[in-house]
């Protein structure tokens, strides 16, 4: 019995959601490479990159699939390193299921924002990764009295500011997707809560959920109307 409890505790502390996401994205990247190359426009479209006209024609899944695609080795390498080191910390804080929800909703939120404001093809886990940064901002706001969380929140806030500044002066970067993912991650982190650390007020959770849903609906409808 004691051995079973130890295994269960060890499983709960293992970042298997983060690891699983990394494995999936690497396998997709390998498949894209074998299919003709991850930088090939035809391959990107075939694998589900965000293409506005196709989404407007009803291919709504292109608001989900882009977060699992990457354009070139440098793109996936940097994203996977960031995802692993940020994801392992957040998965430990929020728990496996809540972490996965944050990642997916943030990725969708970023892609919907990109769909609304950017006409060009886009792909990458950056939308969801920025959502993880947003979740750290939520922890900093909700548990500011905790010195460790406060320091982490400050560090990631500085990192986000630097990345956004970099985005502003780098052509081809999906700034709308990054900001959309950041905000969606911040809001959905309130929605799911973080019971392993502490209680988040019901008012904050309800307000965040309503703002998140209304925001996603408005962005989607605005993108469809263009």
What pLDDT shows up at residue 126? 94
Average pLDDT across each block of 10 residues of the chain; the chain has 226 residues. List them in order: 42 84 98 97 97 97 98 95 94 95 98 96 95 94 88 83 79 88 97 93 96 97 93
pLDDT of residue 97: 96
Helix axes 126-142, 73-94, angle to 10 degrees: 30
| 8, 85 contact by CB (below 8 A) | no
pLDDT of residue 2: 43
Return the SS3 of 209. helix
Residue with tokens 């969801």: 128
Q: What local confidence, expressed as pLDDT, does residue 86 receive? A: 92
Q: Name which of 135, 127, 133 is nearest 178 in CA terms.
A: 127
Collapsed DSSP state (helix, strand, coil) of residue 95: coil
Q: How far apart are CA 165 and CA 103, in angstroms?
A: 23
Domains in the chain, CATH or no CATH each: 2-225 (1.20.1540.10)
Q: Three-state secondary structure along 65-78?
A: HHHHCCCCHHHHHH
What does the pLDDT read at residue 12? 62
Catalytic residues: 126, 178
């Amino acid at each position: 019995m004691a051995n079973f409890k130890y295994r269960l505790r060890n499983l709960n502390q293992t970042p298997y959601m983060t690891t699983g996401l990394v494995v999936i994205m690497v396998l997709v990247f390998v498949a894209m490479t074998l299919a003709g190359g991850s930088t090939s426009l035809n391959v990107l479209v075939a694998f589900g990159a965000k293409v506005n006209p196709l989404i407007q024609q009803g291919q709504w899944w292109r608001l989900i699939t882009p977060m699992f695609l990457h354009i070139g080795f440098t793109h996936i390498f940097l994203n996977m390193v960031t995802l692993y080191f940020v994801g392992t910390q957040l998965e430990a804080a929020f728990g496996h299921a809540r972490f996965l929800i944050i990642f997916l909703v943030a990725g969708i939120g970023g892609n919907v924002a990109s769909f609304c404001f950017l006409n060009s093809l886009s792909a990458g886990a950056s939308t969801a990764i920025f959502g993880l940064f947003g979740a750290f901002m939520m922890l900093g706001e909700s548990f500011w009295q905790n010195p460790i969380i406060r320091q982490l929140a400050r560090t990631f806030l500085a990192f986000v500011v630097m990345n956004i500044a970099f985005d502003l002066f780098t052509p081809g970067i999906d700034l709308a997707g990054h900001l959309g993912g950041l905000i969606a991650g911040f809001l959905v982190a309130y929605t799911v809560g973080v019971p392993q650390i502490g209680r988040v007020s019901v008012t904050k959770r309800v307000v965040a959920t309503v703002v998140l849903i209304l925001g996603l609906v408005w962005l989607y409808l605005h993108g469809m109307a263009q």
